[in-house]
Amino acid sequence: MPTRPRPVVCHLLLLVGLLFVPGCFFVVGDTICGSELDLPCGRGSYCQYDEGSCGDGGAVGVCAAFPEACTDIYQPVCGCDGETYSSSCVAAEAGVNVASAGECVVDGG
């Protein structure tokens, strides 16, 4: 999951060609996605946001390749789509970001 600060303003400046802006953090090779501009990712990748963000509020993510294989270790996570996945890797295989650790809570009412 992305752990570096990714302010929307910084990425918009990067998009228009300003590669160095004090206070902005960029990593060469990152392809940004999401944001208010709804920037897409290329084939074979999905927009990965910080855990719990789910891309809400114009969040900026990083295009990440779908995992090629996941282990069978059961560490359930709740996906941003409201479905429980056996691990964050399995969620990523489906192109789904993680909303929270543990199984999704379903309202009984």
pLDDT of residue 4: 45
pTM attached to this predicted model: 0.69
Domains in the chain: boundaries: 1-65, 66-109
Q: Chain-wide mean pLDDT for the chain?
A: 78
- Which class is 66-109 in CATH? alpha beta
Burial class (CB in 10 A: 0-12, 13-18, 19+), 42: exposed
> What are the start-end ranges of the E strands in the chain?
32-34, 45-48, 60-65, 77-79, 84-85, 98-101
Which tens digit of pLDDT belongs to each residue from 38-62? 788 888 899 999 888 898 888 888 8
Helix residue ranges, H only, the chain: 8-15, 88-93
Q: How confident is the model at residue 79 (pLDDT cuts 50, 70, 90)?
A: very high
